[in-house]
Amino acid sequence: MTYMWQEILEQPDILRRCYGANRDVVKAIATEAKRRGVGFIYYAARGTSNHAGHFGKHCFETLAGLPCASASASVLTLYNGKLDLSGALVIGISQSGEALDALEVIRRGNAQGALTLSITNAPESPLAKEASFHLYCECGVERAVSATKTFTAEAFLLLALAVEFAGDEALMPILMEIPEKMAQVMQNDTIRQKAERFRYMEGCFVLGRGPAWPVAQEIALKIQESTYVAAKAFSVSDFSHGPIAMVERNTPVFVLAPSGPALPGAVAMIKKLTELGAEVLVVSGNPEAVAMTPYSIKIPDAQNDLVSFFELAVFGQMFACSLSLAKGLDPDAPRGLNKVTVTK
């Protein structure tokens, strides 16, 4: 068994553990942010961590009503931009805690008196030590180059923080439901079978909207780095504004269609793609969406697309790992990549 597959299977236990270990810190951050009157969130991350941040943005804005922006780190690191972060919660997200650009954003926030938070899997790292607060992913060593368990742990901690900011006890069951739903997806053997079906593809599109949009980005990245296939993610809504012109007969398009407000748009896109002759793989728990193509993969119908985010993440990780093996590749050691990438 590959390290990547082992680490995929560890995720339900990790999320249960990291929530318990960080619960008091999550409450302390929310309390301090409310005391200071924090009005917006500004986060810095790259790659997989950035996709977790995009999910956190959705959670903060929809659950807590807090505007949230992704940092253009080069504004600070290359151009010395004069951003006013004094009223923000500034978050740096990095699995290794060694991302120089996220570190610089945290330092700038500290210099301006902002409330700062780091989320890492390395509590002794520079980023963990620089921020006012730190949330630890509790993942243990991640040996595969492709990040799996650290991605979902980062996203889970951001969701937990957004739930705490919202102050709505009715949201707590969302957090408690996630590990079990992920474990159910892991029992789905059709994911490996569907991956075999696509082993000769040279490119594909991955579409999602709402919380399914950042996970579409992450799935595309996992396919890129594990299989060297030219995967590209788009929002379902953006895909109609030009990119759909690239779809030809038999073009592989993966549509993430969880139950929730974005489902009708996903269903409409599936219909349009089917009419164009695309080879559409639908990932959904919704019976209508699942019945639309022969290549569907059914996930548990969570009835909440924040939970579905984690189900879809597991699907994407399992699909990418299975596709890599079907192509005779090593998903643990993608060519040209290192576990830690340092950018400024």
How does pLDDT run across 178-236, given as a tens digit for each residue?
999 999 999 998 999 999 999 999 999 999 999 999 999 999 999 999 999 999 999 99
Structure tokens at 10: 């560890």
Task: Reply yes or no on whether 339 is catalytic.
Answer: yes
Distance CA 267, CA 206 (A): 14
Distance CA 14, CA 18 (A): 6
Q: Which of 74-83, 87-96, 290-299, 325-334 bottoms out in mean pLDDT, i.e. has the lowest? A: 74-83
The active-site residue, picked from 129, 232, 298, 339, is 339
For 3-167, the fitting CATH number among 3.40.50.10490, 3.40.190.10, 3.40.980.10, 3.90.550.10 is: 3.40.50.10490
CATH 3.40.50.10490: which residues of the chain?
Answer: 3-167, 184-326
**Across 243-263, average pLDDT:** 96
For 184-326, the fitting CATH number among 3.40.718.10, 3.40.50.620, 3.40.50.10490, 1.10.10.10 is: 3.40.50.10490
Share of the chain above pLDDT 90, in %: 87
**Across 138-164, average pLDDT:** 96
Structure tokens at 5: 């597959």
Give whole-number Cα distances, 79 to 82, 102, 110, in Å.
9, 15, 19
Q: Which of 8, 15, 6, 7 is nearest to 179 (CA)?
A: 15
Q: Which residue has the tokens 């991350």?
A: 45
Question: What pLDDT does 344 receive?
Answer: 57
Per-residue pLDDT tens over the stretch 33-56: 999 999 999 999 999 999 999 999
CB 145 within 8 A of CB 334: yes
Identify the H or E element spanning 117. Answer: strand 115-120
